[in-house]
Amino acid sequence: MDDCLVVGGGVIGLSLAYELSGRALQVHVVDQGLVGREASWAGAGILPPARVHPDIAAWDWLRARSHELYPDWSQALLDATGIDNGYRRCGGIYLARSRGEAAALAGLAAHFHQHQIAFQRLDLPQLAECEPALAPLMAADELKAVYFAADEAQLRNPRHLRALVAACRQRGVRFSEGVQVRGVRRNSDRLVAVDTDAGPLTAANFAITGGAWTGDLLRMLKIPTGILPIRGQMVLFRCPVRPLRRIINEGARYLVARDDGLVLAGSSEEQAGFDKSTTPGVLNDLQQMARDLVPALRQAPVQQTWAGLRPGSIDGMPYIGRIGSLENAFVAAGHFRSGLHLAPATALVTSDLICRQPAEIDLSPFRPTRG
Ligand SMILES: Cc1cc2nc3c(=O)[nH]c(=O)nc-3n(C[C@H](O)[C@H](O)[C@H](O)COP(=O)(O)OP(=O)(O)OC[C@H]3O[C@@H](n4cnc5c(N)ncnc54)[C@H](O)[C@@H]3O)c2cc1C
């Protein structure tokens, strides 16, 4: 029998499978579609700066511990699979063109200062040196505030997911794609099996990592959660050469340039149920934002557009822990805009729970039964 059946092969389920198989557990991942093709594929792969420090709150710890782990995970995945996941500590620029955005950045600066995270205010000559592509914006005298986060990083999530799958396979993880979990069988305080298109699947432990669909899975266990799909749309430009060195953040929107000249412009936050269509209005807004900020993008063709469903949660915190009174069923979901970032530390603490070892932090703020 498998030691753990992981239901959902996004970045959370794959990272968990990678960590558990690294601890010599036999793991089986099932996904209703193809693994690594939902929100985790759709994301931008921005890893904002974060740092572990004493008295850190649980959510900040997840970010900070993941931030620490990513360089090592990326190197280990490269060594094992030959796949470069594109982890780059490229730095991030934060722009404000209105007084409201400037006030929000001042708040962020205070938060980073408290966490001893470098977040340097830039004047215009410093900005010109840091990111020459923004020179026209400076000339237009539109900027109210600019900051630089040296420790911001990015990864190419489609490549990271491919690397995780390859590394999991090397460690003996089995994958079943196109297999939907439709029901559960429990016996008192134990989950015995899940019912799927391919018949019942048994395991010693079960981990629910179904992203935006996790609410449906937990309802089968009579656990209500506040997980809901939040759609985000994205535009991908192709440039002959990389036009930006840094990630550019403005409010909830951003530009992320990859090494090979691809530039992502994102994103929106929409409640549209499980509808993953793009809409002309949002795509036009994103293109305009990108081309206003970086004139080099005015000539760049749009290569692709898409939308993904973030697993939002009612209080902005993920759900991580044992499910209700079940002793062998666990959940890790609801990471909203930060699932790629938070995945390594989530995998660590969820693996600790599954291995019945004490977790590095108090996980009670993430308890699945909080509604
Ligand atoms: C446009 C956009 C930009 C983003 N940018 C960033 C970013 O820059 N940085 C960052 O950290 N995060 C970002 N995110 C958020 C991040 O992508 C998500 O938080 C993360 O991918 C969630 O991972 P997951 O594994 O929980 O979900 P998913 O990747 O959605 O995976 C869940 C999987 O579960 C499977 N599943 C569901 N129900 C069942 C079932 N009943 N049976 C079998 N399988 C099932 C699904 O098929 C799916 O493959 C972004 C998201 C979007 C949409």
Which of ligand 1's atoms lies nearest the C-alpha of 217? Answer: 41
What per-residue confidence (pLDDT) applies to 99?
A: 93
All domains of the chain in start order, with CATH:
4-84+156-227+314-370 (3.50.50.60), 92-150 (no CATH), 228-311 (3.30.9.10)
Residue nearest ligand 1's atom 16 by CA? 339
Q: For residue 139, what pLDDT band results from cuts at 50, 70 and 90? A: confident
| CA 39 to ligand 1 center in whole angstroms | 3
Please report the pLDDT score of residue 53 as a whole number: 86
Residue 221 pLDDT > 80: yes
Residue nearest to atom 12 of ligand 1 (CA): 338
For residue 214, how far is its CA from the centre of ligand 1 (angstroms)? Answer: 10
Which amino acid belongs to residue 85?
N
* pLDDT tens track for 171-192: 999 999 999 999 999 999 999 9
Q: Residues 226-262: pLDDT tens digits?
A: 899 999 999 999 999 999 999 999 999 999 999 999 9
Instruction: Return mean pLDDT, the chain.
Output: 96
Give the Cα separation of 205 and 1 in Å (integer): 10
**Other CB atoms closer than 10 Å to residue 361's CB: what's the count?**
18
Confidence at residue 371, expressed as pLDDT on a 0 to 100 scale: 63
C-alpha 133 – ligand 1 centre gap (Å): 32
pLDDT digits (tens, 9 = 90+) for 324-361: 999 999 999 999 999 999 999 999 999 999 999 999 99
Q: How confident is the model at residue 138 (pLDDT cuts 50, 70, 90)?
A: confident
Mean pLDDT of 131-147: 87
pLDDT of residue 129: 93
Residues with Cβ within 8 Å of 241's Cβ and at least 6 positions away in sequence, in order, are 261
Q: How far is the CA of 10 from the centre of ligand 1 (A)?
A: 5
State the closest ligand 1 atom to the C-alpha of 338, by its place in the atom list counted from 1: 11
Q: Which residues line ligand 1 (CB under 6 A)?
A: 7-13, 30-33, 38-40, 42-46, 180-181, 209-213, 217, 232, 234, 266-267, 308, 310-311, 333, 335-341
CA of 309 to the centre of ligand 1 (A): 7
What would the pLDDT profile of 266-321 be if each residue is shown by its tens digit? 999 999 999 999 999 999 999 999 999 999 999 999 999 999 999 999 899 999 99
Ligand 1, atom nearest to 157 Cα? 17
Neighbour count for residue 274 (Cβ, 10 Å): 11
Say what the pLDDT of residue 54 is: 83
Tell me the whole-structure pTM to 2 decimals. Answer: 0.98
Nearest-CA residue for ligand 1 atom 26 is 211
Residue 158 has pLDDT above 80, yes or no: yes
Q: How far is CA 197 from CA 31, 132, 177, 252, 354, in A?
A: 11, 54, 11, 39, 26
Mutate which of 338, 346, 350, 366 for ligand 1? The one with the most ligand atoms within 8 Å of its CB, which is 338
Side-chain half-sphere exposure of 188, counting CA atoms within 13 A: 0
pLDDT digits (tens, 9 = 90+) for 51-97: 998 889 999 999 999 999 999 999 999 999 999 999 999 999 999 99
Q: Is the pLDDT of residue 140 over 80?
A: no
Ligand 1 site-directed mutation target among 5, 32, 157, 342, most atoms within 8 Å of CB: 32
Which residue's CA is the closest to the ligand 1 atom numbered 6?
43
pLDDT of residue 145 exceeding 70, the answer is: yes
Model pLDDT for residues 37-46, shown as the tens digit of each residue:
999 999 999 9
Measured distance CA(278)–CA(79) in Å, rounded: 37
With 0-12 CB in 10 A as exposed, 13-18 as middle and 19+ as buried, what is 337? buried
User: By C-alpha distance, which of 258, 311, 191 is closest to 45?
Assistant: 258
Backbone angles phi, psi at 68, to 5 degrees: -65, -40
CB 323 within 8 A of CB 344: no
For a pocket test of ligand 1, which of 6, 7, 31 has the largest count of ligand atoms closer than 8 A to its C-beta?
Answer: 31
Indicate whether 135 pLDDT > 90. no
Neighbours of 96 (CB within 10 A): 21
